[in-house]
Amino acid sequence: MRVFKFGGASVKDADAIKNVVNVLQEVGYNDTLVVISAMGKITNAMEKVVESYFNDKDAVQESLQEVMEYHNSILLDLFQNPNHPVYGKVKVLFEEVKGFLAWNKSPKYAFVYDQVVCYGELLSTTIVSAYLNEIGISNTWLDVRTLIKTDSNNRDAQVNWERSQQEVVSNVDISKLNITQGFLGSDDNNFTTTLGREGSDYSAAILAYCLNAESVTIWKDVPGVLNADPRNFENAQLLDKISYREAIELAFYGASVIHPKTLQPLQRKEIPLKVKSFVNPKNKGTTVGKGAGIEPKIPCFIVKKDQVLLKLSSLDFSFIVEDNISEIFKLFHDHRLKVDLIQNSAISFSVCLDNKFRGLPPLLEELKRKFKVVCHEDVSLYTIRHFNDDSVKSLQNGKSVLVEQRGKETVQLVVK
């Protein structure tokens, strides 16, 4: 069995969904499990619903109405019969969202987030599955929450591999075309969990691992894995083949084309990962697989924007050593800030953080009790794999470099 993953851009409207059909018809769809993300920017729109729920309940209905209208316009383009059963299925999904928001008593943002935002994927897969059936491509719609079992760590759930393996093997008919969701799982109480933003790639890898799939293909709006994001860098070049190790390194440093967790389960079973263009599905794209000596021969550029740089120093000029660092990292963990770079001297400690869970304000309060703290918000972290002098100079030009760190293969710059 093969696993395909289509992201939000590939199902953003009716024409895009019809293009997914073209891809499936060109490359085949027998014995295939298709993982689909929420349509377009719907995850952002569902996050807006959650924000309204906590901060402005009067705006909840308006926020949800925008999501409903978006999906209804796609339905009208795909299904000419207004009595088609898919209209009823979509209506039921929206009623479930409204029902949850009405009866929910939990004050936990992350819990509410997972129960609401998940409907982006449920809606997209319901519509795509119905359209495929409508045009004669028979398929089975699966609720991935019954397949991928996790702990209860909302918004960043950890997979229970043994239980997930059991559920996937028991419930997926590998002889058919199956349609399911990315990003989602469920805990022991069957509440929805999510695997982290952009987690659909990871979902595909989990399912491939459990099914011993022959390959995973991620269909993107780019030709494959490039040495730089063309939205941020000029003259990006395609990498034809790279090793699991190199892909994991690139993903770890923030390469957006592959989710950081995706490679680990695939590497364990040596399942190849292909990154291909849904615009030109017959093109080779990039293959990630086993083998040394297939690292890129050119510098690879990665940028993470909207980062936070903290510079901590002791109040009494004492050393910052193991005890202090252990305490600092515990605070990062408690406030859910991801560490992307660290640099320390005898009496100072610098760290670049990702504040996606909004834990910075309470973290600063605690740190300032024991340390002198300098905080730079809205900085960018640039990473160059396989760097040379010219590649480093190209990033330094015209920028204020706050931190620079060099290794044998990698250089990182925090710039303002």
Cβ partners under 8 Å of residue 397, min gap 6: none
- The whole-number pLDDT of residue 346 equals 79
Q: Residue 77 to residues 16, 18, 74: CA-CA distances in angstroms?
A: 11, 11, 5
Could you tell me where in the chain the CATH 3.30.2130.10 domains are found?
A: 300-415
3-class SS at 289? strand
Could you tell me where in the chain the CATH 3.40.1160.10 domains are found?
A: 2-213
User: Please, what is the average pLDDT of the chain?
Assistant: 93
Q: Is 8 annotated as a binding residue?
A: yes
- The whole-number pLDDT of residue 293 equals 54
**C-alpha to C-alpha distance for 124 and 231, rounded to whole angstroms:** 26
pLDDT at 370 over 80: yes
- 109-158 pLDDT, tens digit each: 999 999 999 999 999 999 999 999 999 999 999 999 999 999 999 999 99
Q: Is 231 annotated as a binding residue?
A: yes
Q: Is 278 annotated as a binding residue?
A: no
Q: Is 199 annotated as a binding residue?
A: no
pLDDT-derived band at 292, boundaries 50, 70, 90: low
- The whole-number pLDDT of residue 176 equals 94
CA dihedral (287, 289, 295, 297) in degrees, to 10, reads -20
Q: Do residues 190 and 151 lie in contact, with contact meaning Cβ atoms separated by under 8 Å?
A: no
- The whole-number pLDDT of residue 32 equals 97
- 309-355 pLDDT, tens digit each: 999 988 887 777 777 888 899 999 999 999 999 998 877 889 999 99
Q: Is 5 annotated as a binding residue?
A: yes
In CATH, the architecture of 2-213 is: 3-Layer(aba) Sandwich (3.40)
Q: Do residues 90 and 71 lie in contact, with contact meaning Cβ atoms separated by under 8 Å?
A: yes
DSSP 197: T
Q: How many CB atoms lie within 10 A of CB 84?
A: 15
pLDDT at 183 over 70: yes
- The b/e string for 180-192 (b: 16+ C-beta within 10 A; e otherwise) is bbbbbbbbeeeeb
Q: What is the mean pLDDT of residues 156-178?
A: 97
Q: Is 6 annotated as a binding residue?
A: yes
Q: Is 43 annotated as a binding residue?
A: yes
Q: Which superfamily does CATH assign the domain made up of 300-415 to?
A: VC0802-like (3.30.2130.10)
pLDDT-derived band at 397, boundaries 50, 70, 90: confident
- The whole-number pLDDT of residue 348 equals 83
